[in-house]
Structure 1
Amino acid sequence: MSQATLNAAPPNAPAEKVSGPWRDAWKAFRKNKTAMMGLCIIVFFILIALLAPLIAPYDYKEQELVNRLQAPSADHWFGTDDLGRDLFTRVLYGARISLWVGFFSVIGSIIVGTILGVLAGFYGKWIDMIISRLFDILLAFPGILLAIAIVAILGPSLQNALYAIAIVNIPTYGRLVRAKVLSLKEEEYITAARAIGMKNSRILLKHILPNSLTPIIVQGTLGIATAIIEAAALGFLGLGAQPPDPEWGKMLSDSRQFIQKAPWTVIFPGGAIMLTVLGFNLMGDGLRDVLDPRMKS
């Protein structure tokens, strides 16, 4: 009997699970308690945003002036605002707006920034010079001031606030991708791909982009938290969501004159912003620890 037969696994032995970088990253992520806490917070707010019509006890537009500025009670868990609207209902629906702006503004920034960053880093020369100067111009302005200027030009609305936040954050992802591409295109496997006649488009899609995903994912997760704060800031200034849409920043702006008389009108929307941003920051830090090779021992 041959040695190979002796060493063969028994027929009923369980097959080993196939390991891979993403599976290993998920295992490491699950061991990070703070990252899992952040993920739980995010999932919680996503669920209440999706289920708001089923959970909310009132219509977020419904006004009862006789019940204005009521303290939290069994009928109104978070109290009411200056127009008698149920704050619990408005905070639930506000999660929809804040998460919608956060996710889609970051997605837009990532798409445009990645395209420009790849073109600048891979082709270089005059293309790199033009795109890099564009990034420098955008980064020369404070982010919130540039967003205010864009919304002021386009007109106050939630959609225009989303566009403004996306435009402001494009250089962040563009420069990140450009730096990654500059390092990747000098790797030996890229040189080998060119040597065998592989086209640039295939090199970009098969080698460059897949290996550039890690920093984009980490920065994107952290960027959602920043986008939510920026949306709240624009809403606070009256440049974001317009009445009667229940946006958290707008709710804070409408309630600032009642801080002493009715503090609950500020505490609950402000707490929702704080918890949501905290969740994305915790999860982003966990993803950085898992996906960044420099953070591994």
Structure 2
Amino acid sequence: MAELASKTPPMLPPQAVEEKAVSPWKEAWKSFKKNKLAIVGLSIVSFFILLAVFADLVAPYEYADVKLEDKHLPPSGDHWFGTDEFGRDIFSRIIYGSRISLWVGFLSVAGSVVVGSFLGIVAGYYGKWIDTIISRIFDIILAFPSILLAIAVVSVLGPSLRNALIAIAIINVPTFGRLVRSRVLSVKEEEYITAAKAIGMTDFRILIHHVLPNSMAPIIVQGTLAIATAIIECAALGFLGLGAQPPTPEWGKMLSDSRIFILEAPWTVLFPGLAIMLTVLGFNLMGDGLRDALDPRMKN
């Protein structure tokens, strides 16, 4: 008996058992923190978000202040990034431009997530003719190159930042719709969904309490990467004159207005381009880190 007692593993106290039970989100955060590139991406994104929030405090000048006598001044202590063809401070315009780019990125992706997730859940859960109709709509939208479809939508609605946001949201809906649909098709076959139906839960409660929460991880990853794409598409529309209108300091529009001065004043093109590159890089690095942290197949 003494030998059996010595070989029996000691019982863990309840507190120790609770400490061992780590939530999936905490586990994902621990994995995310180990990825150095993901932390770099998070730092870049956080930096630009802080710039956008505190632009009024950080920017040394108003973005629309015109001083023709100061046009095309090179970078200096008074104007860190130089001035443009109207004597406006480029550093201040880039800071205020971060508000626009991030606003378009977050809002357009949020709209795409809401509409795409709703259509994807309905198509995947109910199937049959509903799935066929929604899937064909997705296929039609995806048949067009995204930037050409965005140009067409803005051309119909009229050039403006709001219409550019709507166009970017529309072209990203199929991406989230198909992602959520594929996830729902696998989740709805699980035993806990069958048990929920057996106890009389309504379809709405099943979708909200079971299907949607189990589809959040891929949505978060794709959403982070889609923000980077939305910022590039916003800059492209602005470059073509279909997005933000003067004097709004949108990065793509700043590139468009300065391209003819690239030899005379290269800093007018360099710094808006760097702002776009760094922001997109930050979101891509963070999205890759989230994918590695939330996808079980990526873990060792």
Identify the residue that residue 171 of structure 1 maps to in structure 2: 174
**Partner Cα separation in structure 1 for residue 12 and residue 161 of structure 2:** 62
Matches within 5 A, 1:198-237: 198-237=201-240
Matches within 5 A, 1:188-203: 188-203=191-206
Q: Per the alignment, do residues 174 and 74 of structure 1 end up closer, same or farther by CA in structure 2, a change over 3 Å counting? A: same
For structure 1, list consecutive stretches of 5 or more residues without a partner in the other structure: none
Identify the residue that residue 67 of structure 2 maps to in structure 1: 64
**Partner Cα separation in structure 2 for residue 196 and residue 99 of structure 1:** 45
- 1:112 correspondence with 2:115: yes
**Partner Cα separation in structure 1 for residue 261 and residue 72 of structure 2:** 9
Identify the residue that residue 271 of structure 1 maps to in structure 2: 274
Identity within the alignment, %: 70
Question: How many pairs does the alignment contain?
Answer: 294
Identify the residue that residue 124 of structure 2 maps to in structure 1: 121
**Partner Cα separation in structure 2 for residue 156 and residue 173 of structure 1:** 26
Root mean square deviation of aligned Cα: 2.1
Shift of 1:198: 1.9
Instruction: With the length of structure 1 as denominator, give the TM-score of the two structures.
Output: 0.95
Q: 1:37 aligns with which of 37, 40, 51?
A: 40
Matches within 5 A, 1:116-155: 116-155=119-158
Partner SS state of residue 99, structure 1: helix
**Partner Cα separation in structure 2 for residue 85 and residue 202 of structure 1:** 55
- 1:80 correspondence with 2:63: no
Identify the residue that residue 185 of structure 2 maps to in structure 1: 182
Shift of 1:202: 1.3
The CA deviation string for residues 28-82 of structure 1, in whole angstroms up to 9 with x for no partner, is 1111100000000000000011111111111110011111011001110000000
Shift of 1:19: 1.6
- 1:47 correspondence with 2:50: yes
- 1:256 correspondence with 2:259: yes
Identify the residue that residue 295 of structure 1 maps to in structure 2: 298
The CA deviation string for residues 190-214 of structure 1, in whole angstroms up to 9 with x for no partner, is 1222222222111111110000001
- 1:89 correspondence with 2:92: yes
**Partner Cα separation in structure 2 for residue 23 and residue 245 of structure 1:** 41
**Partner Cα separation in structure 1 for residue 128 and residue 121 of structure 2:** 13
Partner SS state of residue 24, structure 1: helix
**Partner Cα separation in structure 2 for residue 125 and residue 52 of structure 1:** 51
**Partner Cα separation in structure 2 for residue 116 and residue 200 of structure 1:** 15
**Partner Cα separation in structure 2 for residue 9 and residue 145 of structure 1:** 62
Instruction: With the length of structure 2 as denominator, give the TM-score of the two structures.
Output: 0.94
* Amino acid of the structure 2 residue aligned with 1:125: K
**Partner Cα separation in structure 1 for residue 195 and residue 12 of structure 2:** 38
Shift of 1:8: 7.8
**Partner Cα separation in structure 2 for residue 38 and residue 147 of structure 1:** 27
Partner SS state of residue 70, structure 1: coil
Shift of 1:186: 1.1
Partner SS state of residue 63, structure 2: coil
